[in-house]
Amino acid sequence: MRKIKRKIEDLLRRGDEARAFDALSGFPPRRAVNPLFSLLLSTEGRVKWFAVRALGEITADMASNDPEGARVILRRLLWQLNDESGGIGWGCPEAMGEILARNRALAEEFAPILLSYLREDGNFLEYDPLRRGAVWGVGRLARGHPDLARDAEAPLTTLLESSDPHLRGLAAWALGHVGAEGAAKGRLRTLCSDRRSVAIFEDGVLSERTVGDLARQALERVEQSPDG
């Protein structure tokens, strides 16, 4: 697996995602995910987000024929986020969000756990850099199944006032998909002039956006929704 991991990293550094996916396709799904868990730890955005997307695609596809195998992968992600694991869980909330967005049955089972990482009365992630991943994961879940992410509105609204611009921007982006009512809309409006820049991964593209831009986009999306 180390050899395939190095090959994937090399292909991604050359911008060849298609061949990187092909390199994984020759392995059974349960083996193909092993190098991806290591790639989640990469500090290179292109590599990490490839791992997130690939884990999402492989696990969601696996759920059709091997639902228990897909659950094993999700439980492995959950374990990495557990203090007892001895790790930090980099990339795990994002991978969970990607998987759940792609498979409704898994989302119905595991979405409450993903949402609990944002709740102080749940499995709250205190470390801001890790919590950013949970916010993105919830937003990604909401893109696929907004009804399963509605309970995230309150904690996301609170994060709009975070001192961390990354959390503010990601929370604004996520609320655009989760939905926002009175208090959340008001706070989004106050962020429209926030010029701090944050990284956001959406539709396969990693880009830099201002918090204000993400807040305006969220407001537009909310206003255009049937419930807006």
Determine the structural domain holding residue 222 and report its residue range: 155-228
101 and 204 fall within a common domain: no
Provide the CB-side half-sphere exposure for 219 (13 A, CA): 17
* Residue pLDDT, tens place only, 105-130: 999 999 999 999 999 999 999 999 99
59 and 75 fall within a common domain: yes
Closest by CA to 56, choosing from 75, 38, 70, is 70
Q: How far apart are CA 141 and CA 104, in angstroms?
A: 10
106 and 43 fall within a common domain: yes
17-25 helix and 2-13 helix, angle to the nearest 10 degrees: 160
17 and 47 fall within a common domain: yes
Closest by CA to 222, choosing from 150, 162, 168, is 150
Provide the CB-side half-sphere exposure for 154 (13 A, CA): 7
Type of residue at 4: I
Q: Is the pLDDT of residue 224 over 90?
A: no
What's the angle, vertex CA 10, arms to CA 9 and CA 15, rounded to 5?
90
115 and 193 fall within a common domain: no
pLDDT at 2: 80
pLDDT band per the 50, 70, 90 thresholds, residue 30: confident
141 and 197 fall within a common domain: no
The DSSP annotation for 155-202 comes to: HHHHHTT-S-HHHHHHHHHHHHHH---HHHHHHHHHHTT---EEEEEE
206: helix, strand or coil: strand
Q: Which of 148, 172, 196 is the last residue of a domain?
A: 148
137 and 170 fall within a common domain: no
pLDDT band per the 50, 70, 90 thresholds, residue 227: low
pLDDT band per the 50, 70, 90 thresholds, residue 27: confident
pLDDT at 5: 87
| CATH code: domain of residue 181 | 1.10.720
23 and 95 fall within a common domain: yes
226 and 175 fall within a common domain: yes
Number of domains in the chain: 2
